[in-house]
Amino acid sequence: MQGDATPIDGVGAGSISQAGSDEPRFPEALLTGGDRRSIARSDRARRLVRANPARVSELVTLTKDHDWLVAMRAVDLLEKLAHEHVEWVEPYKRVFIGDLADSDKWEVHLQIVRALPLFTWTRGERRRVVDILARDVEHRRMFVKAWALDSLATFAAQDTTLMPLVRRWLARFEQSGSAALATRARHIRRRLSSQLPEAKAGP
């Protein structure tokens, strides 16, 4: 495991080489336009990155764009790419635990909590990760709450000191009156029972 000397804030330079100087700048216009329900031309942008993974770094730059819709779509693409090829995004993973994690946009929180379990974190980074998930499990948006607990449970399967917190929230989900949250809680319990049969996920 690496040490904790690398600061959490900022974006890692990573081991993926930058796009060549003769490569045109990533077309920001592909992520521009529409409203928060629109993905603009994100599919085209995704194909460009798949064709040249070095362009992940350009997507990371767009997460700081002044247009929050562009930033949100860039984060969404990074999450999707991490599910497909985590090694492409791993060098830039700190973007998910930097300032973006404190965004006032629920969509960004959703993308972040879903992405966090995909990466390998140092001890110091993991503290920030757990803090984000423990905070967002209380988010007002149901999708964010559900995915935050799901991801927290994924970390608890590796670090059982998190199990008391996960159990408390599983019970709260089951007693929330929300069928969606109760269903997610049952799914998480089943998964934890198969991963940690000796450590019951029950109260």
Considering only CA atoms, give the Rg of the chain: 18
| CA dist., res. 8 & res. 12, Å (int) | 9
Query: Which pLDDT score is estimated for 19?
Result: 42
Query: Which pLDDT score is estimated for 197?
Result: 61
Sketch the domain layout of the chain as residue ranges. Answer: 1-136, 139-203
End-to-end CA distance of the chain: 32
Query: Which pLDDT score is estimated for 102?
Result: 96
| CA dist., res. 82 & res. 132, Å (int) | 19
Global pTM value: 0.80
SS (H, E, C) the chain: CCCCCCCCCCCCCCCCCCCCCCCCCCCHHHHCCCCCCCCCCHHHHHHHHHHCHHHHHHHHHHCCCCCHHHHHHHHHHHHHHHHHCHHHHHHHHHHHCCHHHHCCCHHHHHHHHHHHHHCCCCHHHHHHHHHHHHHHCCCCCHHHHHHHHHHHHHHHCCCHHHHHHHHHHHHHHHCCCCHHHHHHHHHHHHHHHHHCCCCCCCC
Over the chain (203 residues), the average pLDDT of each successive run of 10 is 39 38 51 52 74 90 88 91 96 97 96 98 97 98 97 96 96 96 96 74 54
Q: What angle do CA 178, 184, 187 make, to 5 degrees?
A: 145
Query: Which pLDDT score is estimated for 37?
Result: 53
Query: Which pLDDT score is estimated for 39?
Result: 44
Query: Which pLDDT score is estimated for 25?
Result: 52
Q: Calculate the CA dihedral of residues 113, 30, 48, 86 and round it to 10 degrees.
A: -10
Query: Which pLDDT score is estimated for 9?
Result: 39
Q: Tokens 């019970």 correspond to what residue? A: 171
Q: Residue 199 has which token pair?
A: 């450590």
